[in-house]
């Protein structure tokens, strides 16, 4: 990569895009496996794929895909291990990148893995906080971990019933400060990893990606590609399932 300026940038953008799409799908799959393995620890049988957790033997296209899913008030492994997978990889690969002083593909890919896992929690948490500012409750993994702090709700309850309740009584949930502990923790971990990784990658590759336009496009490409990754992941989610 080093030594090529003008000719290398288009090729590296293609490599970056392909790498980001493929590896993002891989870690989405690992994230869902974290939910599946955690549910198995809790003694709950579920199916996982690339996007959503559902009932055993069912696919997202089935109308009763989550008819047996239960929301509890307890902090459980099934809800926590999904985000934990991304926190772990984001932190570990961010730290690994800090030890690199040479511009090479290895550093490039290590930084990419850190960015991918950080984004997988940074974007959902950003959506949650934006929704909360508007009085809307988005049930992300970290939010589920804080439901035990809500008083006056008869947990456990079916997921479908909880969705109806959360829409009609969003203010009740969002007014509880303890609900924000895990989302804030997840957001901070993701943000620190993103800032640290982008800073290091920019330092390593600054001389290669010398054009300001290409530099902005290069670093924002993961955000631009995320809707496409979501679409591909949702398609694969209906095709490939694991029953835990």
Decide if pLDDT at 5 tops 60.
no
- State mean pLDDT over 91-113: 90
pLDDT band at residue 7 under the 50/70/90 scheme: very low
Among candidate residues 53, 62, 5, 9, the one with its CA nearest the CA of residue 28: 53
List the chain domain ranges.
Answer: 14-61+73-235
Give residues with Cβ within 8 angstroms of 238, minimum separation 6: 49, 59, 60, 61
Q: Is the peptide bond before 172 cis (omega within 30 degrees of 0)?
A: no
Q: Regarding beta strands 157-158 and 70-71, do their DSSP bridges make them parallel or antiparallel, or are they unpaired?
A: antiparallel
Full-model pTM: 0.87
> Which residue intervals of 42-104 are DSSP H helices?
77-98
Average pLDDT over the chain, rounded to an integer: 86
Among 77-91, 161-175, 229-243, the least confident range = 161-175
- CA-based angle 225:190:195, to the nearest 5? 80
Alpha carbon 186 to its chain centroid, in Å, reads: 10
More confident residue, 56 or 172: 56
Residue 117 pLDDT greater than 90, yes or no: yes
Round to whole Å and give the CA distance between 79 and 141: 6
In angstroms, the CA 124 to CA 215 distance is 25
Q: What is the pLDDT of residue 208?
A: 65
Name the DSSP letter for residue 208: T
> Residue 6's pLDDT is what?
45
Count of beta carbons in the 10 Å neighbourhood of residue 168: 9
Residue 28: other Cβ atoms inside 10 A: 23
> How high is the pLDDT of residue 70?
80
Query: Is 2's pLDDT higher than 60?
Result: no
Query: Which residues sit opposite 157 in a β-bridge?
Result: 71
pLDDT in tens, 209-219: 666 777 777 77
pLDDT at 236: 96
Which of these, 211, 186, 69, 200, lies nearest to 122 by C-alpha position? 186
Whether 199 shows a pLDDT value over 60: the answer reads yes
Name the percent of the chain lying above pLDDT 90.
52
Among the ranges 68-72, 148-152, 230-234, which has the highest mean pLDDT value?
A: 230-234
Question: The dihedral of CA 230, 190, 109, 29: what is its sign?
Answer: negative
Question: How much is the pLDDT for 211?
Answer: 66
pLDDT confidence of residue 36: 94
Chain segment 27-53, per-residue pLDDT in tens: 999 999 999 999 999 888 999 999 999
Determine the pLDDT at residue 78.
Answer: 83
């Amino acid at each position: 990569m080093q030594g090529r300026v003008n000719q290398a940038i288009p090729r590296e953008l293609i490599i970056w895009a392909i790498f980001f799409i493929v590896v993002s799908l891989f870690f989405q799959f690992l994230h869902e496996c974290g939910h599946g393995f955690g549910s198995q620890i809790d003694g709950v049988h579920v199916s996982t794929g690339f996007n959503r957790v559902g009932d055993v033997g069912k696919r997202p296209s089935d109308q009763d895909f989550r008819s047996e899913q239960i929301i509890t008030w307890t902090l459980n492994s099934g809800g926590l291990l999904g985000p934990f997978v991304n926190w772990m990889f984001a932190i570990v690969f961010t730290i690994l990148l800090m030890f690199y002083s040479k511009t090479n593909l290895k550093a490039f890919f290590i930084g990419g893995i850190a960015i991918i896992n950080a984004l997988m929690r940074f974007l959902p948490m950003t959506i949650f906080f934006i929704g909360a500012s508007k009085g809307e409750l988005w049930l992300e993994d970290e939010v589920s971990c804080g439901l035990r702090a809500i008083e006056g709700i008869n947990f456990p309850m079916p997921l479908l019933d909880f969705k109806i309740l959360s829409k009609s009584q969003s203010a009740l949930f969002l007014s509880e400060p303890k609900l924000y502990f895990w989302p804030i923790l997840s957001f901070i971990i993701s943000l620190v990893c993103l800032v640290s990784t982008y800073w290091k990658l920019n330092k390593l590759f600054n001389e290669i990606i010398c054009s300001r336009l290409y530099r902005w496009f290069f670093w924002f490409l993961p955000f631009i590609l995320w809707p496409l990754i979501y679409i591909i992941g949702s398609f694969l989610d209906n095709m490939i399932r694991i029953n835990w």
